[in-house]
Amino acid sequence: MKTQFPSKGEVVRQWHVLDAEDKVLGRLASRAAMLLMGKHKPTYTPFLDTGDHVIVINADKVKLTGRKEEQKLYRRHSGYPGGLTETKARTVRAARPVRMVEEAISGMLPKNNLGKHMYRKLKVYAGGKHPHQAQQPAALEL
């Protein structure tokens, strides 16, 4: 008996909408990463991208537990000596709330070219509206 591997043309990709309002960031990110990787499908293969498209709305209303609002730091480096910049979660939420959700989800994806391909299927919006109605996305509850 031979094992069936889905080819690129056989993969059926669906669109899902996750509402981040009053949802814990880590739980939302793990659910979105699972959908992007395709682990919810019986055709999941670790070395193939069989995942779906994910739309996250209301990213500015995501919840952080404990004292992470004051203590969690987002770090980035310019590449120059002494170029490390640290920003608190409260400041990131005020300036770019989409970045919090994107970084949480991308941190749960594979760190290779396949992970970058999966990340391109993620769309995050700060408000409650998105321009992907033509794809007929299905709403998911966490």
Q: What is the tens place of the pLDDT at every residue in 30-84?
A: 999 999 999 999 989 899 999 999 999 999 999 999 999 999 999 999 999 999 9
pLDDT(2) > 90? no
Q: Can you list the alpha helix ranges (DSSP code H) found in the chain?
A: 25-37, 68-71, 89-95, 97-106, 113-119
Q: What is the CATH class of 15-64+94-140?
A: alpha beta
Write down the domain spans for the chain. Answer: 15-64+94-140
**6: confidence class by pLDDT, cuts 50, 70, 90:** confident
pLDDT of residue 142: 83
Rounded CA separation 119/51 (Å) = 10
pLDDT of residue 138: 96
Distance of CA 91 to CAs 47, 65, 130, Å? Answer: 37, 16, 24
Rounded CA separation 105/96 (Å) = 15
Nearest to 92 by CA among 74, 80, 79: 74
Rounded CA separation 128/73 (Å) = 26
> pLDDT tens digits, residue range 95-135?
999 999 999 999 999 999 999 999 999 999 999 999 999 99
pLDDT(9) > 90? no
| DSSP at 11 | P
DSSP helix/strand/coil, 135 = helix
**1: confidence class by pLDDT, cuts 50, 70, 90:** confident
pLDDT of residue 8: 79
